[in-house]
Amino acid sequence: MVRSEAEAQDVVQETFMSAFRKLDSYRAEAPFRGWLFRIASNASLMRLRTRRRRPEVSMVLRRPSCSEDDCHQRPVVDLRPLVSKSLEDEEPGERLRRSTDALPDKYRSVLVLSDFDHRAMKEIEEELGLSVSAVKTRLHRTRLSIRKDLEGYLAGQV
C-alpha cells in the first residue's frame, strides 16, 4: 500500500511492535491474521495521511466508449490467458504492479483494501472515513483503469 520497500519494512516493524503492545486487546475468537492485517493497514494508512501528498493524477473513467446507438467500438480483449499464468515474476505481473503503483494514494488504498485484503465495503468506508458511494466510485474507476491497462498490454502482445 505504501509503495516503497523501505516504508513497507517500517510499516511491518510498526505492525509487530503495535501488535505486541496491544496483545491484551486481542480477542481469541477473532482470527489472529485478520487482527494483524487490520493493524498493518491502519499503520499504512497513517503513513499515507502524514506523508507529503503526491501530485494528483486524474483518474478518467475508462468505460468502453459508447455513441448514442452503439457501444464497444473496439472488441473487448479476453484477459483469460493472463489468469492461468503465475504473475509473481512474469512480465504482466510486473506491468500490473507498475499500474497499481502509479495510482493516486486514495485510489490505491481502496483497491488494496478491497481486492487484496478482501475487506467489506462497510469496513473500508469506516477505515478511510468515506461514504460507501465514494468507496464504490473510486474502486470502480480503479478496476476499470487496471482492466484497460491489461487489455492494452495483451493487445500489444498479439
Partner 1 sequence: MLRCDAAVDMLLDAHDGTLSSQGRQALKGHLSQCPSCTAFQRSYEHSITLTAQALAVKLPTQVSARIYTGMTQRFRRECAQSPRTDGGSRSC
Asked whether position 100 contacts partner 1 by CB under 8 A, the answer is yes
CA atoms within 13 A on the CB side of 34: 9
Using the CB atoms, write b or e for 127-152: b if 16+ within 10 Å: bbebeeeebbbbbebbbbbbebbbbe
Measured CA to CA, the distance from residue 124 to residue 111 in angstroms comes to 10
DSSP codes joined into one string, 69-97:
S---SSPPPP-HHHHTS--SSSHHHHHHH
Asked whether position 109 contacts partner 1 by CB under 8 A, the answer is no
Smaller CB distance to partner 1: residue 17 or 57? 17
Q: Which stretch binds partner 1 (CB under 8 A): 30-38, 43-51, 52-60, 84-92?
A: 84-92
Per-residue mark of binding to partner 1, 116-145 (x: CB under 8 A): x----x--------------x--xx--xx-
Q: Which of 40, 45, 77, 113 binds partner 1 (CB under 8 A)?
A: 77
Question: Which residues are CB-neighbours of 11 under 8 A, at least 6 positions away?
Answer: 1, 2, 40, 43, 44, 47
Asked whether position 17 contacts partner 1 by CB under 8 A, the answer is yes
Closest residue by Cα to residue 57 from 117, 120, 142: 142
Residue whose C-alpha cell reads 493497514 in the numeric block: 41
Asked whether position 7 contacts partner 1 by CB under 8 A, the answer is no
Q: Which of 23, 28, 76, 158 binds partner 1 (CB under 8 A)?
A: 76
User: Which residues sit at the interface with partner 1, rule CB under 8 A?
Assistant: 5, 9-10, 12-13, 16-17, 20, 63-64, 66, 71-72, 75-80, 82-83, 86-88, 92-93, 96-97, 100, 111-112, 115-116, 121, 136, 139-140, 143-144, 146-147, 150-151
